[in-house]
Amino acid sequence: MANLNVVGLFFAFAIPLLIYAAPHLGQKELISSLDFNLPFWLYLIQAVLGLWLVASLAKDFKEWFLKVTSGKRLESIIPVAVVAAFAISVCLAWIMPRHRVQSDESIFLSTAQNMYANQVAGSCNEGEFEGNGHLNCQNSVHNFKAKGESFLYAIGIPLLGRDLRWVFPLHIFLLLATIFLLYLAVRVWTANNNLAFLTTAIFAAQPTALFQFRSASVEPLYTLLFALCVFLLKWAWDKNTEKHWVLLALVLAFFAQTRQETVFCFGAFVAFAFYRTCVVHLGQTKGRARRFILAPSFSLFLLAISIFCIPILLTISYYQGYNFQGGEFSAHGHFIENIKQAWDITVNTPLDKGLLKNPFLSSFSILALCGFVLLIIFAKGEFQQFQQNKKGIHVAILIFLLLYFPQFFMIFENVSGDLSIEINQRYTLIIFPLMAFLSAFVIDKASGLLTHSHRLFFVFACAVILWGNTLSYSESFKQNIMYNRNHLTTEEAAILKWVNSEPVKKRIFIYSRPGHFIGYGMNSIHYNSLNQQRLSELLQKYEGEVYYVRGLDCWDSRTYHKKAVESRIATVCDNFEQQFPVDLVFSTIITNNYRVVIAKLKEGGPSALVAPEEVNAELPENAEWLGVPSEHRQDWGNLQIDKSVTSMPLTIAKKRYKKGIGTHANGVLRYNLDGKYKRLTAVIGLDEDEFCSNGMQVKILGDGSLLADTRKLERGDEYSLDIPLSDVKQLVFEIDGMGDIGCDHVDIAVPMLYVK
């Protein structure tokens, strides 16, 4: 048996190490394949095994639960139900069901569709639903999101349908379940009814929590599973059998499938499991005599966690080293800065035109900090008793919190936990259950100074005051402050409103983010996937119901949001509209900055208004083309002759040229002329293959003297160059990207040197 325990322990550690090391051993393709094809089936096995254990332990659970609650009716169940009713009422009456940030939720939804139809755990980025409802996914892509929530959605599709808008009411159920589970988790560990009730009431009163539970965010599932794991830990602790620990391991492993960083909080659960199963106390001599054994239940516990954490371990391995938070707020190296900022944002919550600027309450953060300090004081006072194997609940809670902490470090250090990026404010929900407990801890200890009859009144009064504070911000809820600042969610709401107003038809949408539509059971492909032949096929297949959507990703071509996950460039959309004719069917302003447009595609070539004019310049007898420079450098790409830097036709201001030079800013082109030429003519401008340049400037020098200066040229501008070259021996073009070289594809078209 001892050998089996060692083998189990070996594989428990070997599995994550091998998965993490695989890409470094040339096996990234294997990790890629497993990340796509393994999770669905492993989740299914996990679910079946979990249900079997629940059924086999049902009688045991009933007996344990009656014992741990002293066989009495849970006297606080009615107040907890009142809290739940308040929370659900606020969500239903005041908060619109909507994504908090479109991209992430669409990944979960489109992955769910792909899991159900094809058992592939990649998000479906382009696809069509066939006549029998089967999703023909044409482009499955990896994503760094955990896939547990997608699996839950997938198993709900047969019952609730392919239009996954049912996930919004599902989250109301998650809120209800979380409230009761959080209450029970605190109650069974502390046997303190007031503390358990306050923890629940304070957690449910937080605006951020209520907003998240009204969206399709994964964080609500995280909080529910956290509460469930803490509750089951107590059951496994008390019963201490292999079945109990394996059941906890299965739930913990699924808990890990909510966020990548969740595996880093497992130290808290593993430490308690090890202490309970592997530490044997030998007598009471000074209370310190202990012996450590490797218990079968502990080996099984770790092995089960390791095996069923494989899906998230594959994702972590595949994306290791990937810095997906772009801009100046990239991940790594900002931990202290992000913690300070998080404190400032969650404590200083000013009003903006009568609304909360951020969905946080100062009192919550301050109470939680006070609770943490008070917990340390109480733990210090009973530490000696804890060492002597006597009860030390405060020490145990403090140890659990400290071992849980590495997850928060991973979030604030490795995922750019900058809460000034509003979509990142969801991260706080991960620590909210613990903050709620610490806040309740302060109030509960303060109530201990009162008599028993006054204590209950004090606890309920505090809960009423805290909830009253939350309800006083009703307008902030009604105005959906968390969602309305995210333009993509606003865009989605406008698109879905139009879809709902139209007759039900078989349609397909051409969009920059096809997964948005696929998640709701609608056909969609990317702009890049369309050509004239495929358009003809789609128009026939969908009887003309082919729609082009121009949204946020197509606008703002000259700006870059420093905190954006990725810069947006309008090139694809502008090119698309040059190739395919459309009829406008819907247009609405989303913000002051841009509008969303839906247009119906039709047969035909590009409009004459946007088709470039062909320029066929004739070379005079006394002239020659300016060709390859004697020296040159450029900051991107390679110099091209008679084509742009991207090997496309030279196109300036809707004119297409057959002769010229394609280069890129910043750059220098140097020509040795030896004084043989009297004149140079050319057309200079930005190539229209790209649309996102902030402008560039070209200076032309002859033997060090400035001959011409184009000043700033933007897309659509053209500069006609005509300069004398008498006795010029060296000609130089200096190209300046003006601080940002993005998309600075520079053309020098029809450059003619006139011989003396």
Predicted local confidence at residue 284, as pLDDT: 46
- In a shared domain, residues 198 and 334: yes
- In a shared domain, residues 618 and 722: yes
Report whether 88 contacts 178 (CB < 8 A): no
- For residues 125 and 519, what is the distance between their CA atoms, to the nearest angstrom? 10
β pairing state of 613-615 and 655-657: parallel
- In a shared domain, residues 560 and 684: no
Give a three-class secondary structure readout of 643-664: CCCCCCCEEECCEEECCEEEEE
Nearest to 168 by CA among 96, 97, 228: 97
| Residue whose token pair is 């302003």 | 589
- The last residue of one of the domains, among 579, 601, 623, is 601
Report whether 18 contacts 122 (CB < 8 A): no
- In a shared domain, residues 566 and 656: no
Number of domains present in the structure of the chain: 3
- In a shared domain, residues 220 and 360: yes
Nearest to 437 by CA among 408, 394, 477: 394
Query: Which residues neighbour 362 within 8 Å (Cβ) at sequence distance 6 or greater?
Result: 346, 347, 348, 349
Predicted local confidence at residue 80, as pLDDT: 94
**Amino acid found at 269:** F
- For residues 621 and 619, what is the distance between their CA atoms, to the nearest angstrom? 7
Predicted local confidence at residue 73, as pLDDT: 60
- For residues 713 and 175, what is the distance between their CA atoms, to the nearest angstrom? 55
Three-state secondary-structure class, residue 526? coil
CB 328: neighbour CB atoms within 10 A? 7
Helices (H), ranges, 472-509: 474-478, 487-501
- In a shared domain, residues 405 and 348: yes
What residues make up the domain containing 620? 613-755
- For residues 682 and 179, what is the distance between their CA atoms, to the nearest angstrom? 72
CB 266: neighbour CB atoms within 10 A? 23
- In a shared domain, residues 291 and 355: yes
**pTM: predicted TM-score of the whole model, two decimal places:** 0.80
Predicted local confidence at residue 285, as pLDDT: 45
Query: Which residues neighbour 621 within 8 Å (Cβ) at sequence distance 6 or greater?
Result: none
Residue 647 has phi, psi (to 5 degrees) of: 65, 25
Phi-psi region of 675 (alpha: psi -120 to 50; beta: other; left: phi over 0): left
- For residues 252 and 404, what is the distance between their CA atoms, to the nearest angstrom? 13
What CATH number does residue 750 fall under? 2.60.120.1060
Dig out the tokens for 204 from the structure. Answer: 């449910």
- The last residue of one of the domains, among 434, 455, 478, is 478
Residue 329 has phi, psi (to 5 degrees) of: -105, 40
Predicted local confidence at residue 354, as pLDDT: 84
- In a shared domain, residues 468 and 516: no
Residue 41, domain member (yes or no) = no
- In a shared domain, residues 270 and 226: yes
Residue 306, domain member (yes or no) = yes
- For residues 124 and 291, what is the distance between their CA atoms, to the nearest angstrom? 53
Predicted local confidence at residue 485, as pLDDT: 66
- For residues 226 and 429, what is the distance between their CA atoms, to the nearest angstrom? 11
Residue 332, domain member (yes or no) = yes
- The last residue of one of the domains, among 566, 601, 636, is 601
Dig out the tokens for 408 from the structure. Answer: 């928060």
Predicted local confidence at residue 358, as pLDDT: 87
Predicted local confidence at residue 162, as pLDDT: 92
- In a shared domain, residues 628 and 743: yes
Predicted local confidence at residue 2, as pLDDT: 62
Residue 22, domain member (yes or no) = no
Residue 146, domain member (yes or no) = no
- CA 679, 682, 688: angle at the middle one, nearest 5? 170
500: exposed, middle or buried (Cβ count in 10 Å: 0-12, 13-18, 19+): exposed
State which residues of the chain have pLDDT below 70.
1-2, 71-76, 280-290, 322-331, 384-391, 415-417, 484-485, 555-572, 591-594, 605-611, 690-692
Beta-bridged to residue 724, according to DSSP, are 679
- In a shared domain, residues 512 and 463: no
Residue 10, domain member (yes or no) = no
Phi-psi region of 99 (alpha: psi -120 to 50; beta: other; left: phi over 0): beta
**What's CA 707's distance to the chain center, in Å?**
52
- For residues 389 and 289, what is the distance between their CA atoms, to the nearest angstrom? 10
Residue 115, domain member (yes or no) = no
| Residue whose token pair is 């012996």 | 291
Predicted local confidence at residue 591, as pLDDT: 66
- In a shared domain, residues 445 and 422: yes
Residue 573, domain member (yes or no) = yes
Predicted local confidence at residue 331, as pLDDT: 66
